[in-house]
Amino acid sequence: MKAITTSFNSVHKNLLEMAEDFPADKYGFKPKPEMRSFGEVLVHVFSGTTYAAKAGRGEAVQWSELDPKSYADKAAVVAGFKKAIAEADATLKATPATRFAASPEPWLSVIEHSAEHYGLLVAYYRLNNLVPPVSRPKK
């Protein structure tokens, strides 16, 4: 349980830091027209985080994409992501360790999904000649 919680918190902390750090005027940036924008990727990621919170509580839920159009700007995306992380964190804290012994799902899949998109967003930073927060020199 501790490893799942640590991994979940780590990847989402890094993603939230990116969400807060990336310039607001670049939230619509897409590496290619057919790809999601930076902001749309974040909404996609927290669609998974929202799913984990619900499934982790035992709700019969399927992954459903949140509509990026419902998040008009950077502030709305950051607020939505914070809300999703808080809900998932509360669910993780309320989940008995015995449940993790039976299955690490949905947490393991969502951690992997979020980590894959973290890597993608690093490329968005680099394509904009920006350095991702975790790659910056430590003070």
What pLDDT does residue 80 have?
97
Please, is 106 exposed, middle or buried when counting C-beta atoms within 10 Å of its C-beta (0-12, 13-18, 19+)? buried
pLDDT value at 139 more than 80: no
Phi-psi category of 58—alpha, beta or left, where left has phi over 0 and alpha has psi -120 to 50?
A: left
Please give the domain boundaries of the chain with CATH numbers for all domains.
2-133 (1.20.120.450)
Mean pLDDT of all residues in 52-63? 91
- % of residues, the chain, pLDDT over 90: 85
Supply the pTM of this predicted model: 0.94
60-78 pLDDT per residue, tens: 998 889 999 999 999 999 9
